Amino acid sequence: MNAHDEVFIGGHWRPAAGTDDIKVINPANEQVIGSVPAGSAADVDAAVNAARSALPGWAATAPDRRAELLTALSVELAACQDQMASLITAEVGTTIGFSRRVQAGLPVNMTRLHAELVADFAFEERVGSSLVLLEPVGVVGAITPWNYPLHQIVCKVVPALAAGCTVVLKPAELAPLSAQMFTECVAAAGFPAGVFNLVTGTGAEAGEALVRHPGVDMISFTGSTSVGKHIGAVASAEVKRVALELGGKSANVILPGADLAQAVRVNVADVMRNAGQSCNALTRTLVHADDYEEAIRIAVEEIASYIPGDPADPDCRMGPVVSSTQRGKVRDHMRRGVAEGARLVVGGPEAPEGRDKGYYIRPTIFADVTTEMSIAREEIFGPVLSFMRYEDEGDALRIVNDSEYGLAGAVWAADEDRAITFARSMECGQVAVNGGAYNPLAPFGGYKQSGVGRELGKHGLMEFLQTKSLQL
* Integer Cα distance of 197 and 175 in angstroms: 17
For the chain, what percent of residues have pLDDT higher than 70?
99
Alpha helices in 205-323 (DSSP H): 208-212, 225-237, 260-272, 292-303
C-beta atoms surrounding 11 within 10 Å: 17
User: Helices 416-424 and 393-401: crossing angle, nearest 10°?
Assistant: 40
User: Which residue would you say has higher pLDDT here, 68 or 19?
Assistant: 68
Q: How far is CA 317 from the centre of its chain?
A: 20
pLDDT band, very low/low/confident/very high, at 19 (cuts 50, 70, 90): confident
| pLDDT, tens digit (0-9, with 9 covering 90-100), for 403-453 | 999 999 999 999 999 999 999 999 999 999 999 999 999 999 999 999 999
| pLDDT, tens digit (0-9, with 9 covering 90-100), for 241-250 | 999 999 999 9
Give the residue-averaged pLDDT of 445-471: 97
Residue 352 phi, psi (nearest 5): -60, 150
Q: Report the predicted TM-score, pTM, of the whole model to 2 decimal places.
A: 0.97
pLDDT of residue 1: 44
Which amino acid would we find at residue 93?
G
pLDDT of residue 284: 98
Among the listed residues 406, 411, 404, the one whose alpha carbon sits nearest the alpha carbon of residue 390: 411
- Using an 8 Å Cβ cutoff, are 318 and 278 in contact? no
| pLDDT, tens digit (0-9, with 9 covering 90-100), for 228-273 | 999 999 999 999 999 999 999 999 999 999 999 999 999 999 999 9
pLDDT of residue 160: 98
Active-site amino acid positions? 245, 279
pLDDT band, very low/low/confident/very high, at 356 (cuts 50, 70, 90): confident
Give the residue-averaged pLDDT of 114-120: 96
- Whether 2 has a pLDDT exceeding 60, the answer reads no
Mapped onto helix, strand or coil, the DSSP state of residue 11 is coil
For the chain, what percent of residues have pLDDT higher than 90?
99
- Using an 8 Å Cβ cutoff, are 449 and 405 in contact? yes
- 251-439: CATH topology: Aldehyde Dehydrogenase; Chain A, domain 2 (3.40.309)
* Ranges of each domain in the chain: 7-246+450-471, 251-439
Give the residue-averaged pLDDT of 196-218: 97
> Does the 7-246+450-471 domain belong in CATH 3.40.605.10?
yes
pLDDT band, very low/low/confident/very high, at 3 (cuts 50, 70, 90): low
Among the listed residues 330, 419, 319, 427, the one whose alpha carbon sits nearest the alpha carbon of residue 378: 330
